[in-house]
């Protein structure tokens, strides 16, 4: 499953960060690294962007970028 497919309120662990070049580096620099827990907080009214909770802060990313992040849903 990818991050953009997760329902609101669910928690997951990042398994792999895809993308290439500058996009991948930017995602990693924002803290989206493997084995990190993330939770979907909100989705904009039109469906893009999405807000996630990661490492004690809120991060908003585009669905297109979130589709590059493979996650595994965990039970709370």
Q: Using the predicted structure, report yes or no on whether residue 11 has a pLDDT greater than 90.
A: yes
Q: Give the CATH number for residue 55.
A: 2.30.30.90
Residue 63: is the preceding peptide bond cis (ω within 30°)? no
The residue segments making up the domain with residue 24 are: 3-74
Whether this model's pTM surpasses 0.75: yes
Q: How many structural domains compose the chain? A: 1
Strand partners for 12: 38, 73
Q: Using the predicted structure, report yes or no on whether residue 20 has a pLDDT greater than 90.
A: no
**How many CB atoms sit inside 10 A of residue 27's CB?**
21
* Per-residue model confidence (pLDDT) at position 76: 60
Residue 49: is the preceding peptide bond cis (ω within 30°)? yes
Q: What is the mean pLDDT of the chain?
A: 91
């Amino acid at each position: 499953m990818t991050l953009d497919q997760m329902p609101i309120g669910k928690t997951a662990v990042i398994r792999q960060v895809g993308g290439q070049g500058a996009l991948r580096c930017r995602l990693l620099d924002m803290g989206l690294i493997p084995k990190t827990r993330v939770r979907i907080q909100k989705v904009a009214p039109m469906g893009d962007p999405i807000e996630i909770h990661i490492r004690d802060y809120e991060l908003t990313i585009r669905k297109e970028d979130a589709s590059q992040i493979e996650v595994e849903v965990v039970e709370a």
